[in-house]
Structure 1
Amino acid sequence: MSDCLFCKILAGEIPADVVYENEHVLAFKDIHPKTPFHVLIIPKKHIATLNDLAPEDTALAGEIFQAAKAIADEQGFADDGYRVQMNCGEGGGQIIFHMHLHLMAGKKFSP
């Protein structure tokens, strides 16, 4: 989508500090981190919200979580713990309407 910030990052029109990439997903550092380590993991296919996830996107959704696991392990957070979060829709706190997963670590989270 031409007006989507994350699609522009995928197209190389906007720079990002990439920490992980494979055929299906891209992960980059959040420019407004909430924790010492905060990355966004996005599918390379534009899907606006979790509500727009189609049955044929099931494997892609799994790829996002597999990327989170790989990044946490690679960055040394797998054993100590980390948080993954996905906001859906404006009322759920979603700001960029390209489905994405937040991976946050580097601090102790309260329940």
Structure 2
Amino acid sequence: MTYDSNNIFARILRGEIPCGKVYEDEFALAFHDINPQAPVHILVIPKGAYVSMNDFSARASEAEIAGLIRALGKVAEMAGVAADGWRALSNVGANGHQEVPHLHFHIFGGRRLGAMIGKADH
């Protein structure tokens, strides 16, 4: 998957599309998902043009990596799910069901989330 500078998250970062902003700093932007899958469902994206975690881990600076990871924790705390538990999920590539070619993490919380995924078919 190649980076598409017109993907929805790139457009949100440029201010072309509004979002329900939760948190922003120099490294990351967090906003409410428009189709929530849990009582708390927030997307956290890096501000740089990174397709996936593979791309980000290979090319991002140490400051960008630390900034994104810290943003995940800050957002969970701000959303009120840090004490009871939450899940961070990043889909990567076709088999991971990544739909937008910009690295993003989903933060889910606000209820018991159940098992991570179903059993694998062999």
Q: TM-score, normalised by structure 2?
A: 0.83
Task: Say whether residues 1:25 and 2:28 are aligned partners.
Answer: yes
Partner secondary structure for residue 61 of structure 2: helix
The whole-number CA distance in structure 2 between the counterparts of 1:64 and 1:51 is: 14
Amino acid at match of 1:94: Q
Residues 64 and 101, structure 1, Cα contact 8 Å, conserved in 2 = no
Task: Say whether residues 1:77 and 2:67 are aligned partners.
Answer: no
The whole-number CA distance in structure 1 between the counterparts of 2:62 and 2:95 is: 24
Q: Which residue of 2 aligns with 1:6?
A: 9
Amino acid at match of 1:106: G
Q: Which residue of 2 aligns with 1:95?
A: 99
Indicate the structure (1 or 2) with the bigger Cα radius of gyration.
Answer: 2
Number of residue equivalences: 111
Question: Alpha-carbon deviation of 1:56?
Answer: 4.1
Unpaired segments of 5 or more residues in structure 2? Answer: 116-122
Task: Say whether residues 1:57 and 2:61 are aligned partners.
Answer: yes
Task: Say whether residues 1:66 and 2:109 are aligned partners.
Answer: no
Unpaired segments of 5 or more residues in structure 1? Answer: none
The whole-number CA distance in structure 1 between the counterparts of 2:63 and 2:104 is: 15
Of 89, 113, 122, 1:109 maps to 113
The whole-number CA distance in structure 1 between the counterparts of 2:10 and 2:23 is: 16
Identity, % of aligned positions: 39
Q: Which moves more between the two structures, 76-85 or 47-56?
A: 47-56
Find runs of 4+ consecutive structure 1 residues off by over 6 angstroms: none
C-alpha RMSD over aligned residues: 1.4
